């Protein structure tokens, strides 16, 4: 259960965080939110797909780690077998909080109910003995700032996709080496035919706004499904 608190040295002076990978720390997840600003890094490791919120209808991008809930095929014990993790996942258990006052700067919050919060005295210190932020916390704060900026910036990207009708539902069905069929449904991807059919003016507009490169990064990321299937086959073979 989430227990969000404003991070401060008075209340969290002795706080330590488990930073290693592990299912016990919440890494056994199928996907993570991915910001368009990090597509270049994400597409080098994971397929990028879109999901539409059932209530609002808004699009979000996801980096896929597996094919089913609770499955992270990049997680091997205490090792995450990829050089990059999406910011929304890597920053946990920290998050951005908004002050009640209009125009007040965002605050660093922590979810004290998260599994990464240490209860055994092990892990990375958040504050030193003088109550000063450790280099670890400074790095987290920088990542939170980048994530917050990227989140707000992403709205223009998704608006452009909708304006040019550039997303379509897709499904994936793969037969594994043992004969089992693995399916993936409920996601969307770039509509390549509509993209190819855009006129020069539309393409120029997408390029000028920085959206076109990110669209092609999404398309390029689909090649990572081959690696994801290979990881699934290895997992099944190992039992």
Confidence (pLDDT) at 117:
97
Q: How confident is the model at residue 103 (pLDDT cuts 50, 70, 90)?
A: low
* Rounded-to-10 torsion of CA 139, 142, 147, 149: -170
* Residues 168-193, mean pLDDT to the nearest whole number: 95
- What sign does the dihedral 24-30-32-38 (CA atoms) show? positive
Instruction: Locate 220 and state its tokens.
Output: 């390029």
pLDDT, tens digit (0-9, with 9 covering 90-100), for 200-220? 999 999 999 999 999 999 999
Q: How confident is the model at residue 126 (pLDDT cuts 50, 70, 90)?
A: very high
**pTM score of the predicted model:** 0.93
By the 8 A CB rule, do 195 and 201 touch?
no
Residue 100 has pLDDT above 80, yes or no: no
């Amino acid at each position: 259960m989430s227990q969000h608190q404003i991070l401060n040295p008075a209340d969290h002076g002795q706080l330590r965080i488990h930073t290693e990978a592990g299912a016990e720390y919440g890494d056994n997840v199928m996907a993570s939110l991915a910001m368009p600003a990090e597509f270049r890094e994400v597409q080098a490791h994971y397929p990028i797909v879109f999901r539409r919120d059932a209530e609002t209808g808004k699009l979000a991008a996801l980096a896929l780690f597996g094919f089913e809930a609770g499955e992270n095929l990049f997680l091997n014990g205490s090792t995450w077998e990829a050089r990059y993790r999406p910011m929304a996942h890597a920053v946990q258990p920290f998050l951005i909080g908004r002050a009640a006052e209009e125009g007040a700067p965002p605050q660093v919050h922590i979810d004290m109910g998260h599994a990464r919060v240490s209860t055994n005295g092990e892990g990375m210190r958040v504050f030193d003995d003088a109550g000063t932020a450790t280099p670890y916390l400074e790095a987290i704060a920088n990542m939170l700032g980048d994530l917050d900026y990227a989140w707000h910036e992403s709205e223009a990207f998704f608006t452009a996709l909708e304006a040019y009708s550039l997303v379509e539902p897709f499904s994936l069905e793969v037969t594994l080496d043992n004969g089992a069929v693995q399916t993936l449904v409920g996601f969307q991807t770039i509509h390549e035919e509509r993209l190819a059919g855009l006129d020069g003016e539309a393409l120029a507009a997408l390029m000028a706004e920085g959206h076109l490169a990110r669209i092609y990064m999404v398309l390029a990321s689909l090649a990572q499904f081959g690696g994801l299937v290979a990881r699934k086959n290895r997992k099944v073979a190992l039992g």
